[in-house]
Chain A
């Protein structure tokens, strides 16, 4: 009996004191789930430190999440299904706010009104749910770019390609010359061909630039089954094992970057983040490459898929107010500028595209401003909440053509039927750029 009493008293003390400790210092610990592609994690940690300097009572931890967007979504869904308070701020893909909106707080409740006007309007609209809640703060935007080796184009006296045919021709020519000169591992063009969301981005660029529409039009019509789309997918399948390594059908962003940075590729399709990394001094590509818009197809204009990531605060966070403040700081001007200068992450704040420091560090932000503002969005809003299924059907169909398992026509015909089955939409004519 006495023993029990002692135990109870001890327990009361522990509880009481821990309560007092909490009340006195208001120590808050926040966790940010962020990406780790390239320099991402490093820069997020740096931004977290900047925040902790100003707010000594807050500890910010960065949780490293998988590189592939699908895997990352899987992790997030598990946290959200369990209504876990473990993660406070999530880094979410531009295609997720519609699907995951119900789990996030509305930034308008925490004073976002004052800052949203500074950001790209298209992204703010993308992040606003149908009932007018701003569930994500824009963090950085992305668009597909063509990276090319300036030194090699100069050596063989070739121009930067403006059409896919030119790209193919130039790539084949220089690849053969370079191989004959001794670099047997040299390839013409590397891109994202693995069966994942990245392939959806790449293939959308081919198809839209060729006049084949954007899979599902803004009016919710399925437009994928057309000659232009089939033609360009066939052309891309021809690259595999020719100007691109056969292994390109297993490549993601980081695989393509590794090959380009090693000096083994002439052209690369990638996001802007690779610019700062490929410019690092000890790399063979430093000073020997530049970027341009991706080549155009039959439509005559080039297309870049809109990418980018946003920050959302979980409804299940224990400190939603502090977390919202942190998210808005991370998405604010100071951090976005730091990320632009050090990591070539595209700001979502318009004024930063005129900032001298930013333009000095990443000159193409100024020259390719139009590419970023007119990027083509994946059909995530028109197909929500089924976008993931739509995208998976699409990239599996394209992947089966790339690996030669299926011919482009059958794959696309089946894709059309599958999309009708999944979304319930009718078919229609593709929209032109």
Chain B
């Protein structure tokens, strides 16, 4: 008797709880699930942006166009006179067939994405949308290096401003300035510093100290583009990293260090045995924040490199705005979503973040 009445009460309460959850759930549906569902749906169509042309359902076509890749071996070019592999006279390197003769054209055109050598044979990776494959690669490289350096420098900065010294408050405020500058503005500032003539700061300094010969064009030289962009992001986001790590540092009780000192542990020992283990949860949170943020990087790429080199998000932007292919752009959006989701899960598992 008593048990059934209490379970009735529990049921009542559960019903009430469900009713109370409805507003939150509705808001979630309207602001998150509906747009997401819309993007999923559009990614299966050939919808055109800002146009009245008829939209058709095309199934997985967009995904196939983005993700199809193929690997082909490049056959060596045989010199007709000697019967051996031809050698380039200028560079002295052996010559292989050009990818355009090897990659398939029907029913879809595959273009070279990149080439690599393996046991003396040369291979080419062809893709139907090589720009997208490259954009994914650019974004991953950018994310890895920028997050790595930001964490490293952030940790150093946090340890410095966590120690006792005169003017610590002011230092903490000043430290945050790069983070406070709007990304588009700071990207523009760096663009000026990267100017390819001596009007740019770096070329001017390099020239003044005789470090470089002539001038570097940081933003149009393919091998300098990513390092330049990573430098901008590290400059801008290190303060954010430092802030998160500083919060973690301040939660470590001082008694632990006192005890360690009494036991005669050195500063380095203290760092590795006390600071680092206790900092792990804050570090994990900071890393997740930054990684997910870096994976969807848009503004630095858009301002500084525009259509010279894409990140995933800026490639998406140009598919939508310039090519006006909303279906394709939505498919890219979905792929970015899946990649970021995968990273989030990977982090949670590997860093043991408490999901409760």
Contact = CB atoms under 8 A, between A and B. Distances in A.
Interface in B301-356: 306-308, 317-318, 321-324
A259 B323 contact: no
Contacts of B198: 184-185
A405 interface: yes
A102 B222 contact: no
Contacts of A247: 195-197, 215, 217, 219-220
Contacts of B222: 403, 405
A418 B109 contact: yes
B50 A70 contact: no
B236 interface: no
A194 B52 contact: no
Secondary structure class of chain A's binding surface, majority of residues? helix
A74 B109 contact: no
A402 B180 CA distance: 37
A388 B322 contact: yes
A344 B88 CA distance: 52
Interface in B275-304: none
Interface stretch (A1-9, A114-122, A409-417): A409-417
B215 A73 contact: no
Q: Which of A80, A195, A396 has the most CB of B within 10 A?
A: A195
- Greatest chain A CB density within 10 A among B214, B216, B307, B323 is at B307
A410 B98 contact: yes
B100 A73 contact: no
A74 B321 CA distance: 5
A389 to B, nearest CB: 5
A417 B195 contact: no
A246 B217 contact: yes
A417 B99 CA distance: 14
A392 B306 contact: no
A191 to B, nearest CB: 14
A70 B307 contact: yes
B168 to A, nearest CB: 42
A245 B198 CA distance: 11
B105 interface: yes
Given A246-B220, A396-B307, A259 B100 contact: no
Interface string B212-226: 001111011110000
A77 B215 contact: no
A249 interface: yes
A392 B323 contact: yes
Interface residues of B, number: 32
A84 B274 CA distance: 58
B307 A196 contact: yes
A399 interface: yes
A81 B49 contact: yes
Contact of B307 (A102, A195, A389, A405): A195
Contacts of A410: 98-100
B51 A259 contact: no
Contacts of B195: 247
A133 interface: no
A74 B195 CA distance: 26
B220 A81 contact: no
A70 B197 contact: no
Interface string A227-268: 000000000000000000111011000000001000010000
Interface in B192-248: 195-199, 214-217, 219-222
Contacts of A195: 306-308
A405 B197 CA distance: 21
Nearest to A388: B322
A68 interface: yes
Contacts of A185: 197-199
Contact of B51 (A102, A250, A417): A102
B337 to A, nearest CB: 21
A379 interface: no
Contacts of B324: 77, 385, 388
A392 B105 contact: no
B107 to A, nearest CB: 11
Contacts of A385: 51, 324
A23 to B, nearest CB: 34
Contacts of A70: 306-307, 318, 321-322
A259 B220 contact: no
A74 B322 CA distance: 7
A152 to B, nearest CB: 18
A395 B308 CA distance: 10
A350 interface: no
Contact of A194 (B49, B199, B308, B317): B308
A219 interface: no
B307 A250 contact: no
Nearest to A392: B322
A250 to B, nearest CB: 4
A101 B306 CA distance: 27
A103 interface: yes
A74 B49 CA distance: 10
Nearest to B128: A421
Contact of A196 (B52, B216, B306): B306
A250 B217 contact: yes
Contacts of B215: 245-247
Contacts of B105: 417
A51 B97 CA distance: 65
Interface string A37-80: 00000000000000000000000000000001010011001101
Contacts of B219: 247, 250
13 contacts: A73-B321, A81-B49, A102-B52, A195-B308, A247-B219, A249-B217, A389-B322, A403-B221, A405-B222, A410-B98, A414-B111, A417-B105, A418-B109
Given A184-B198, A185-B198, A388-B323, 14 more contacts: A68-B306, A73-B321, A77-B50, A102-B51, A103-B50, A194-B306, A195-B306, A246-B196, A246-B214, A246-B215, A385-B51, A392-B307, A403-B220, A418-B109
Interface of A: 68, 70, 73-74, 77-78, 80-81, 100, 102-103, 184-185, 194-196, 245-247, 249-250, 259, 264, 385, 388-389, 392, 395-396, 399, 403, 405, 410, 413-414, 417-418, 421
CB-based closest 3 A-B pairs:
A247-B196, A74-B321, A247-B217
